[in-house]
Amino acid sequence: MLDTTVTHQTQEVLDSLNSALESGDIDRAAALFATDSYWRDLVAVSWNLKTVEGPEGVADLLRHQIDHTRPGQFELQSGESPAEEGGVITAWVTFETKAGRGCGLMRIKEGRIWTLLTALQELKGFEENRGKRRPMGAEHGARKNRTSWKERRDAEDADLGYGTQPYVLIVGGGQGGIALGARLRQLGVPAIVLDKHDRPGDQWRSRYKSLSLHDPIWYDHLPYIKFPDNWPVFTPKDKVGDWLEMYTKVMEINYWTRSEVTKASYDATAGKWRVTVNRDGETVVLEPTQLVLATGMSGKPYMPKFPGMEDFNGTIQHSSQHKGPDEWSGKKIVVIGSNNSAHDICAALWESEADVTMVQRSSTHIVRSDSLMEIGLGALYSEEALANGITTEKADMIFASLPYKIMHEFQIPLYDQMRERDAEFYAGLEKAGFDLDWGDDGSGLFLKYLRRGSGYYIDVGASQLIIDGEVKLAKGQVDHFEQDAVVLADGTRLPADLVVFATGFGSMNGWAADLISQDVADKVGKVWGLGSDTTKDPGPWEGEQRNMWKPTQQENLWFHGGNLHQSRHYSLYLALQLKARLEGLDTPVYGLQQVHHLS
d(CA 223, CA 59): 34
pLDDT score, position 534: 86
d(CA 309, CA 331): 19
Question: How far, in Å, are 218, 388, 460, 573 from residue 384 at the CA level?
Answer: 11, 6, 22, 28
pLDDT score, position 297: 58
Domain 152-300+506-582 in this protein, CATH class: alpha beta
Burial 14-47, CB ≥16 within 10 A → b, else e = bebbbebbeeeebeebbebbbeebbbbbbbbbbb
Report the pLDDT averaged over residues 580-592: 97
Say if residue 597's pLDDT is above 60: no
Whether omega before 540 lies within 30 degrees of 0, making that bond cis, reads yes
- Check if CATH label 3.30.1360.120 holds for domain 309-501: no
Report the range of poorest mean pLDDT among 18-32, 198-212, 266-280, 328-342: 198-212
Top mean-pLDDT range of 35-44, 140-149, 503-512: 35-44
Look at the pTM and tell me if it is higher than 0.85: yes
Q: Write out pLDDT tens, residues 375-403.
A: 999 999 999 999 999 999 999 999 999 99
Report the pLDDT averaged over residues 524-552: 91
Percent of the residues in the chain that have a pLDDT greater than 70, as a whole number: 98
Residue 1 pLDDT level (bands cut at 50, 70, 90):
very low
Tell me the residue length of the chain: 599
Q: Are the C-beta atoms of residues 595 and 509 closer than 8 Å to each other? A: no
Q: Write out pLDDT tens, residues 389-444.
A: 999 999 999 999 999 999 999 999 999 999 999 999 999 999 999 999 998 888 88
Residue 145 pLDDT level (bands cut at 50, 70, 90):
confident
pLDDT score, position 214: 86
Report the pLDDT averaged over residues 305-333: 95
Q: Kindly report, as residue ranges, where domains of CATH 3.10.450.50 are found in the chain.
A: 2-123
User: Which fold would CATH assign to domain 2-123?
Assistant: Nuclear Transport Factor 2; Chain: A, (3.10.450)
Report the pLDDT averaged over residues 342-350: 95
d(CA 99, CA 519): 34
- What's the chain's average pLDDT? 94
From the list 403, 541, 533, 531, the residue with the least C-alpha distance to 37 is 403
Q: Write out pLDDT tens, residues 192-215.
A: 999 999 999 998 998 888 888 888
SS3 438: coil
pLDDT score, position 599: 44
Straight-line distance from the first to the last Cα atom of the chain, in angstroms, rounded to the nearest whole number: 57
* Dihedral sign (CA 126, 132, 136, 140): negative
From the list 472, 431, 458, the residue with the least C-alpha distance to 335 is 472
Query: Is the model more confident about 588 or about 206?
Result: 588
Q: Kindly report, as residue ranges, where domains of CATH 3.50.50.60 are found in the chain.
A: 152-300+506-582, 309-501
Q: Write out pLDDT tens, residues 450-468.
A: 887 668 999 999 999 999 9
Question: What are the phi and psi torsion angles at 261 (to 5°)?
Answer: -75, 130
Bridge partners of 276, per DSSP, are 263, 285
d(CA 346, CA 516): 37
Say if residue 183's pLDDT is above 60: yes
Q: Write out pLDDT tens, residues 230-253.
A: 999 999 999 999 999 999 999 999
Residue 164: how many other CB atoms lie within 10 Å:
10
Residue 10 pLDDT level (bands cut at 50, 70, 90):
very high
